[in-house]
Amino acid sequence: MITGKIQAREVKLPFTCSVVKCPIRTDKSKIEFPCLPETEFSEVVVQVTNDSQKNYMVELVPPNIKIAGLIVNPLVTDLKAGRSALICIRYNSEFRDLSLKKMEELFKPKENLIKPGIGVRNKKLEERIKKEREEAAKEIPIDPKAKAGAKPVAAAPAKKPAEEVKKPDPKAAKKTPQ
């Protein structure tokens, strides 16, 4: 309804909606932790229930523990249809330095921890590649005219005959659709 000093007008808008209920619910909608002395902790247990007929895998991702002090256990749980699970959320009240310098250190990308000269080797992959190369070398035909000790030359792959593409004759009469 739009109203003004002189007129009133009613506007009807057509719409449709679909109501969807979340199949996973918890027994608490808000979790509050008390203010604690520096070395103490507080725990809250939350019950997560699956109301649907479908199995779900639930994963909780807490913020960085060095910033928030929250520990979630278990992080991932399997919720069977119509069942529930308990999740423990623990708050550790230790002092946190949240200065800019400390935050930059926390979120700075990790440097490459592998020392130069020491690499990670996949021995099984190396062996498989070596066998494949040896088998490929055996399949290459040897040139009888090649000198002793020369490496065998791989034969060029056979070229497939190119399919002829019919080009339209420019002088031919064109058909018109009827």
Q: What is the mean pLDDT of the chain?
A: 79
Alpha-carbon torsion, ordered 64, 68, 69, 75, to 10 deg? -50
> Stretch 128-146: mean pLDDT, rounded?
80
pTM of the model: 0.49
How far is 152 from 142, CA to CA, in rounded Å? 5
Residue 162, pLDDT above cutoff 60 = no
The C-alpha angle 52, 54, 56, rounded to 5 degrees, equals 100
Whether the per-residue pLDDT at 48 is higher than 90: the answer is: yes
Confidence of residue 80 (pLDDT cuts 50, 70, 90): very high
Determine the pLDDT at residue 35.
Answer: 87
Residue spans of the domains in the chain: they are 24-107
Backbone φ and ψ for 135, nearest 5 degrees, come out as: -65, -40
pLDDT at 5 over 80: no
83-110 pLDDT per residue, tens: 999 999 999 888 888 888 888 888 887 7
The pLDDT value recorded for residue 108 is 82
Decide: residue 50, CB within 10 A, 0-12 exposed, 13-18 middle, 19+ buried: buried
Share of the chain above pLDDT 90, in %: 22
CATH of 24-107 given 2.60.40, 2.30.29, 1.10.8, 1.20.58: 2.60.40
Q: pLDDT tens digit string along 7-28?
A: 667 888 898 988 888 899 999 9
